[in-house]
Amino acid sequence: MSASSSQPVSSRAGLTLLEVLIAVTLVSLLSAAGLVALRIGLNAMERANSRLMANRRALGAQRALEQQIAGFMPVTADCSQGNPEGPGVRVPFFQGEPDSMRFVSSYSLEEASRGLPRILEYQVIAGEEGEGVRLVVTEYLYSGPRSTGSFCLGFGPDPMLGVTMPRWLPPRPGPQSFVLADKLASCRFSYRESLQTPPYERWHARWTLPRWPTALRIEMTPLKPDRARLLPMSIAVPLRAQKDPMVSYAE
């Protein structure tokens, strides 16, 4: 046997520092890419869930609004002439303005159609930080002509028509008010009068007739249109419950 073949092998297999650095760098990049992908997925899920919840709220508010109008009740109010304790003049209870309205409905947000009738007070107010407008509703318990008469300030000449009409308290939204629609560019109410001759109907921006309208329309325009969200829609709901306000009846 030769002398060269009898020497022990001193070389050993291993990783160099450069190879370790490359491996660590690759693992770090893969981990960072995974975290970025996970964050993007979570953000997308959160946005989708936010849109879903917003759409559900918008749809629920719209259905509630339609139910409240459909539950319209033709009741009267004892409108006093400056003396709350004295006998009042009975008038149809309805207030219709371009940006506010009042009437009594059998449907409330709190108890739906299972509870007591409510006096509903709608108003268009400024949005948060003065951005756009919002539609709010405030509910009060209805207990008869005196409860509706508490909103009447008496009688006075209408500034536009010059005829004597009931004067109503201005709407007063508060902490108990519920926001039905938000972030609107505009919101307007109008009221339908049915006619016996063509065109058979007329829409009014203000309701000044001594009876109830036959339909209510609410026109809403979104402030920032978004195809991914359910936008507030204009609705028109007929008022099917009608009575002659000149006919005496018990409430």
pLDDT at 218: 93
pLDDT at 250: 44
Band of residue 137 on the pLDDT scale cut at 50, 70, 90: very high
Residue pLDDT, tens place only, 18-68: 878 888 888 888 888 888 888 887 777 776 666 666 566 667 778 888 999
What percentage of the chain exceeds 70 in pLDDT? Answer: 80
Whether residue 226 contacts residue 108, with contact meaning beta carbons closer than 8 Å, is answered with no
Q: What share of the chain is helix, strand, coil (3-state, %, to 5)?
A: 25, 35, 40
CB neighbours of 121 closer than 8 A, spacing ≥ 6? 100, 101, 102, 137, 138, 139, 140, 171, 172
pLDDT at 156: 86
CA 68/CA 187 separation, integer angstroms: 17
pLDDT at 187: 93
CA 67/CA 107 separation, integer angstroms: 6
CA 37/CA 102 separation, integer angstroms: 52
pLDDT at 126: 92
pLDDT at 204: 95
Element (H, E) at 154: strand 152-157
Residue pLDDT, tens place only, 191-230: 999 998 998 999 999 999 888 999 999 999 888 877 666 6
CB neighbours of 179 closer than 8 A, spacing ≥ 6? 61, 134, 135, 136
pLDDT at 40: 84
Task: List, in sequence order, every residue forming a beta bridge with 66; answer none if it has no partner.
Answer: none
Report the chain's mean pLDDT, rounded to a whole number: 82
| Whole-structure pTM value | 0.74
Closest CA to 137 of 188, 107, 176: 176
pLDDT at 82: 55
Closest CA to 113 of 102, 105, 104: 105
Domain-wise residue ranges, the chain = 44-238
Residues 123-133, mean pLDDT to the nearest whole number? 89
Whether residue 222 contacts residue 232, with contact meaning beta carbons closer than 8 Å, is answered with yes
pLDDT at 62: 81
pLDDT at 14: 66
pLDDT at 79: 86
pLDDT at 251: 44
Task: List, in sequence order, every residue forming a beta bridge with 219; answer none if it has no partner.
Answer: 188
234 DSSP 8-state letter: -
CA 116/CA 33 separation, integer angstroms: 59
Amino acid at 94: F
Whether the upstream peptide bond of residue 199 has omega within 30° of 0, thus cis, is yes
Closest CA to 61 of 223, 233, 190: 233
Residues 168-187, mean pLDDT to the nearest whole number? 88
